[in-house]
Amino acid sequence: MFNHVMLGANDLETSRKFYDALLGALGAKPGVANRNRYFWRNAGGTFAISTPLNGEPATAGNGSTIGFAGQSPEQVNEAHAAGVANGGVTCEDPPGYRGEGAARLYLAYLRDPSGNKLCLAFRPPKEA
């Protein structure tokens, strides 16, 4: 359904460092620069950050969340810790399982250096 996701960044280099660490923990290579943007490609998806083209400050969407898939609870924890260690701020409940039955997910939330809300998620395999 999606081609890519791009978020605004107020400090491109601070945000690049944050996303290199967070997405690196999920298996992505460091971001590739393209003018006032960085791109990460992994597992068929593309994520990017950009300074706003209109010159106005980047703002976080109220009620918006971007979710990144992890392969295990340990990988989600590693990515969350990498993000927090590189300028992110944890938010919501601590990382852990939420929901029940088929809706049970392992989730960790944080905000990037520009205030964008991110979710790191692991969906356990369905039981037979």
**pLDDT by 10s per residue, the chain, length 128:** 788 999 999 999 999 999 999 999 999 999 999 989 999 999 889 999 999 999 999 999 989 999 999 999 999 999 999 999 999 999 999 999 999 888 899 999 999 999 999 999 999 988 76
Predicted model pTM:
0.91
DSSP string, 83-100: HHHTT-EE-SSPSEEES-
CA distances from 88 to 2, 25, 50, 96, 126 (A): 25, 14, 17, 18, 32
Residue type at 126 in one-letter notation: K
Q: CB-side exposure of 10: number of CA atoms within 13 Å?
A: 10
Q: What is the pLDDT of residue 128?
A: 61
Residue type at 92 in one-letter notation: E
Q: Rounded distance, CA 91 to CA 94, Å?
A: 8
C-alpha dihedral sign at 81, 87, 88, 90? positive
Strand (E) or helix (H) holding 12: helix 12-25
Q: Strand, helix or coil at 70? A: coil
| Contact indicator for 8, 113 with CB cutoff of 8 Å | no
